[in-house]
Amino acid sequence: MTLYVFAGFPGKNLPPGQRLHAGGLQHCIEEVEELGLLEHDPAVQYRKEGVFAPGEADELLYPVEYRMSDLCLRDGMTWDWFPENWSFGNGVTVHKTSASPEYKTVVHGTDLNLEEFLARYGTTRLAELELERLHIRHEGWEKYEARWLPGTCPQESHVVHLTWLVTTHRLPPFAYDRIRDLIEGGAEPKDLHRYSTEPDHHFSTTRRWNGQPAFGGAKR
């Protein structure tokens, strides 16, 4: 088996109603365009540490074989982006992680906000003070930031979309390129009429992120 990880989600740049969700992409890969066979066996689990047969004492079957797309690597996400014990499951997964750094407005050169500064130092001419926005680097954020290549972790509230799939065999180059284009390149799936009898069954519903902070730096 091989795990393939791509940046974004299927049809990100396509109009609403033409964006395949995980089941639709799976159907497209296996049935419509016949690009490859996916692993669906629930008795096999693909994890960061290896491929396991789950049970009372999970049996390690063999090491992980994976490929991160060039776009993932360009954005700063390598295999180390996934923490220990991360489970990829099998088949197709469309994943979202949201994260929000915390900031505090402080008096320049200190970690005190204006009220804290005045309480400590007393009356001060405002003209002599400069305020700046300080990133509060708590432990949760530092652990999250360390998952990225140095200097690539976004420093504002953001959402990371990834799509991965586990195949029974390595994909030939033409199949990999086509799946990459479906997920990262905005390519339209072929033979859309094959989906039209049940459009809601294969296409995702558009939802807007409300921008709410994720406690602790990140949320899977």
Residue 28 inside a domain? The answer is yes
Counting the structural domains of the chain, the total is 2
Collect the ranges in the chain with pLDDT lower than 50. Answer: 204, 209, 213-217
- Answer yes or no: is 177 within a domain: yes
Kindly compute the dihedral angle of the four CA atoms of residues 17, 23, 153, 68, in this order, to the nearest 10 degrees: -120
d(Cα 70, Cα 64) in Å, to the nearest integer? 19
Predicted TM-score of the model (pTM): 0.78
Residue 17's pLDDT is 65
Report pLDDT for 130. Answer: 78
At residue 141, the pLDDT reads: 87
Q: Do 7 and 111 fall into the same domain?
A: no
* Rounded Cα gap, residues 106 and 170, in angstroms: 53
Question: In this structure, is residue 49 part of a structural domain?
Answer: yes
DSSP the chain: -EEEEEES-TTTTSPTT--B-HHHHHHIIIIIS----B---TT-EEETTEEEE-SSSPEEEE---EEE-HHHHHTT--GGGSPTT-EEESSEEEEEEEE--EEEEEETTSS--HHHHHHHH-S--GGG--EEEEEE--HHHHHHHTTSPTT-S-SSSEEEEEEEEEESSPPPHHHHHHHHHHHHS-PPPS-GGGTTTSHHHHBPPP-----PPPGGG-B-
Domain around 65: 2-100+157-210
Distance, CA of 111 to CA of 187 (rounded, Å): 49
Q: Are residues 196 and 109 in the same domain?
A: no
Are residue 92 and residue 44 in the same domain, yes or no?
yes
Per-residue pLDDT tens for 171-203?
Answer: 999 999 999 999 998 888 877 556 555 555 555
Q: Are residues 169 and 199 in the same domain?
A: yes
Q: What is the pLDDT of residue 200?
A: 52
- What's the confidence (pLDDT) of residue 3? 96
Residues 17 and 110 in one domain: no
Compute the C-alpha angle 97/103/109, nearest 5°: 145
If you count them, how many residues does the chain have?
A: 220
pLDDT at residue 216, as a whole number? 47
Is the domain of 92 the same as that of 109?
no
